[in-house]
Structures are given as C-alpha cells and as structure tokens.
C-alpha cells in the first residue's frame, strides 16, 4: 500500500477544493448524449496538462488519454459524461443553467473523480509501472457511447487493456464503496411499437378501428408476461412507459404508439420477454381488426454488466485494505443498466464496476430506520439527486487510484 499512500498524499486541501470547483462547474453545464463537447474539452485539457497523450472525437465526443510509464499492464479507467433531460429541482446554488437538462445520474461526479485520479497518478508515476488509459465516454444514457468508441478504433489508439475499471455514484452513504463479483446490473431493451388503426369521427366508432383501445388492451395483457411466463426464481421487469395517440377529443386517431422497456439478468429470460411482447402485440392487433400489422423499432439495448470474479476479489481486498471493512459494502444486483461492459467484452479483458456512495450518511441512516429511503433519499434520475461533494469526490478519487494501482503497482 506504500505506493497508494504516496500517490494519495497529494490529495490535500487544495486538491480537494479544485475537485469541488470542477464538479460545480460540470454540474452547472450539463450536456446531452453525443453533445458533450464542453465536458470533453475540459477532460482533454486536464489530461494534456497532466502529460497524457490525448485523442478526442472518438465515437463522436469521446476522449482517451494514455500515459505510458514503462513495462507493465495497461489499466483503463472509465467515466461517462452525458446528462439527462430532467428539470433540476435541487435548489443548489450551482444548479444546472440549462433548463430541462440535468446531471441527474452523477456523471459529473464520475468525470470529476477520473480527472482527479488521472492527475494524481501522473504526478505519482514514480510509484508505478505500466500504461494508464483514462476514458471519458459519451452517451451512456442511450447505450450508444461505449460501442461508438470501440467501433471508432478506441483500442487501436490506446492498446488493448489488461483490465477495465469503472465506478458509479449511487444514493448510498457517502464515504463507502460497494462491490461484488458476477452480475450486478441488468440488461435492458427499449422499443417503440406503432399500432395502426382506422381513424374517424368519435360519433361513429363502428366505422373505425380505434388504436387507443388496442393500445390499452396491449398494456393490460403485457402485465401478465412477467407474472405468468417468467419463473418466480428469475428476475425481470416489463414497463410500458409511454402511450401516444390522437390530437382532438372528438377524433378517433388512425395510429398510436407505445414505448416499453424490459430488464433481465439472463439471455433466456430476455428472449422469453421479447418473444412474448411480439406475440401479444400482434395477436391483439389481429383481435382488434387492425388494417396492418404493428411495427417494432428498437430504441436502445444495454448489455448485462457482470464483474470478473478474480479481478473483483483482488479489488475488494485492495478496497478493504485501504478503507477498512466497515466502508466496503456488498453491492446487491440492481435492475439499472450500463454500457460499461462493452469495453471489457470488446477488449477480451476482465472488468470491474463498483458503486460509490453519495448520500448524506445521517440522512440515509434515518430514512432506512424509518422505512423512507424512497421518499427521503433521492435516487439517480430524480430531479432532486444531489450527491454530497465531500466526502464523495475524495472517496471517488481514492477508489480509482487504489483500483488502478492494484494492477499498475505490481
């Protein structure tokens, strides 16, 4: 641990203040998927100042910084950059300056922590050997950024990594990290389904095929798919999130659309749900006398996120040694999804993804005790989501440095 101690000794009050200032700036200036030009520019600039070889515009707005420091493994650290179309309601003095756009998932935390870790590892390069790769990824929220960077030749630029590491801030007590081997985040598939009817006057419904009624029947029937077609020993979620049809109260529309999302942990269950959705939708369209079959359009698809058991064991030991067992918690599997796993799969390298606590510990403990976690501790994607600056940011930097040096110091 001496190398880690030496590198993190530079995480002094001035460095912490710089982290906080960077975080506030990023939080005030959120950017949507594939439009993270300002954020990418800041990340690239900080990496250049730290002595990294920097490539920008990878897969759109992605950034890769490479720091070569002798013979040894290549460790890739990843942070995502994009924000969400959410109207912020935190009331923070550094709240978003872009109405309807917010860092509601903590990607500003991720960028800040990776920037700080890269700077410290560069300054302490006498403590390690190998190659450090800092990846700033666009468009995680739409499951497109990791694949775009890989398809744009990312690993031709950086070299293949020996391990890929990443973290995500969650509404758990700040000052803790959460980790576990195996499956931790579910796969997700989203689609839009267009339903075709025959429009007309609302006073003459017999002359129409009402796509609103068709949509309603589909929504109700889909509620039985998980409960009646998936084993209770499996995990799955099917959500119909949107229904759109019509423009006036006395006109029966000729089309409707629904969007839905499924979350699964196994390929078999995923196939079951997708097949059931197509079967139910087509059958209800036939039963309604629809003039043409529905059309299905994939919106996005997130892969399953699973941690390599061996690499996770090594990193869990390193975190426990660094932070103490009381600050390293088990990360229960979540139905949320990520495209982080694309990097490790594409490179044929082990990957580890862990959680970073960002909630006020006393508020969290009180809410947990009173059974009010959902009400009193805002979750990711909430307009009230506001991770604590301290100790969240320093802890995130420490975790990334510790993770990198678990391999680079060998």
> Which of the residues are catalytic?
82, 140
Q: Under DSSP, is residue 62 helix (H, G, I), strand (E, B) or coil?
A: strand
What's the CA gap between 214 and 348, in Å, rounded?
A: 45
Tokens standing for residue 122: 């560069």
Q: How far is CA 40 from CA 7, 63, 113, 398, in A?
A: 25, 6, 14, 22
Write down the number of H helices and E strands in the chain: 13, 16
Tokens standing for residue 389: 């600056």
Q: Under DSSP, is residue 269 helix (H, G, I), strand (E, B) or coil?
A: helix
Dihedral pair phi/psi, residue 184, rounded to 5°: -125, -30
What's the CA gap between 134 and 346, in Å, rounded?
A: 17
| Local structure of residue 230 (DSSP, 8 states) | S
**R_g of the chain, CA atoms, integer Å:** 23
What's the CA gap between 115 and 111, in Å, rounded?
A: 6
């Amino acid at each position: 641990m001496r190398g880690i101690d030496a590198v993190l000794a530079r995480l002094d009050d001035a460095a912490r203040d710089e982290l906080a200032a960077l975080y506030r700036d990023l939080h005030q200036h959120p950017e949507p998927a594939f439009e993270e030009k300002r954020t990418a520019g800041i990340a690239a600039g900080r990496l250049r100042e730290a002595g990294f070889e920097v490539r920008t515009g990878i897969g759109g707005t992605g950034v890769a910084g490479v720091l070569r420091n002798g013979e040894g493994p290549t460790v890739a650290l990843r942070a995502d950059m994009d924000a969400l179309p959410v109207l912020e309601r935190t009331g923070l003095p550094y709240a978003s300056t872009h109405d309807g756009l917010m860092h509601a998932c903590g990607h500003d935390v991720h960028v800040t922590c990776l920037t700080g870790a890269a700077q410290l590892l560069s300054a302490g390069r006498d403590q390690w050997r190998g190659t450090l790769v800092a990846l700033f990824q666009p468009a995680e929220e739409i499951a497109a950024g990791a694949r775009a960077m890989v398809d744009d030749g990312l690993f031709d630029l950086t070299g293949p990594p020996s391990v890929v590491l990443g973290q995500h801030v969650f509404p758990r007590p700040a000052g803790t990290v959460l980790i576990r081997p195996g499956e931790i985040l579910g796969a997700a598939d989203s689609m839009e389904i267009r339903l075709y009817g025959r429009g007309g006057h609302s006073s003459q419904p017999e002359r129409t095929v009402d796509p609103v009624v068709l949509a309603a029947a589909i929504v109700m029937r889909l509620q039985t798919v998980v409960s009646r077609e998936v084993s209770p020993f499996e995990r799955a979620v099917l959500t119909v999130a949107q229904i759109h049809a019509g423009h006036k109260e006395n006109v029966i529309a000729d089309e409707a659309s629904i969007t839905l999302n499924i979350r699964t942990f196994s390929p078999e269950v995923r196939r079951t749900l997708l097949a059931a959705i197509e079967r139910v939708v087509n059958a209800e369209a036939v039963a309604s006398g629809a003039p043409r079959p529905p059309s299905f359009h994939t919106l996005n698809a997130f892969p399953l996120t699973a941690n390599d058991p061996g690499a996770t064991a090594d990193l869990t030991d390193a975190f426990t040694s660094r932070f103490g067992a009381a600050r390293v918690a088990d990360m229960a599997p979540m139905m949320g999804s990520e495209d982080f796993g694309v990097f490790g799969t594409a490179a044929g390298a082990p990957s580890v993804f862990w959680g970073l606590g960002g909630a006020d510990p006393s508020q969290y403990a009180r809410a947990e005790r009173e059974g009010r976690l959902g009400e009193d501790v805002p979750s990711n994607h909430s307009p009230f989501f506001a991770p604590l600056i301290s100790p969240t940011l320093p802890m995130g930097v420490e975790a990334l440095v510790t993770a990198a040096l678990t391999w680079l110091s060998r």
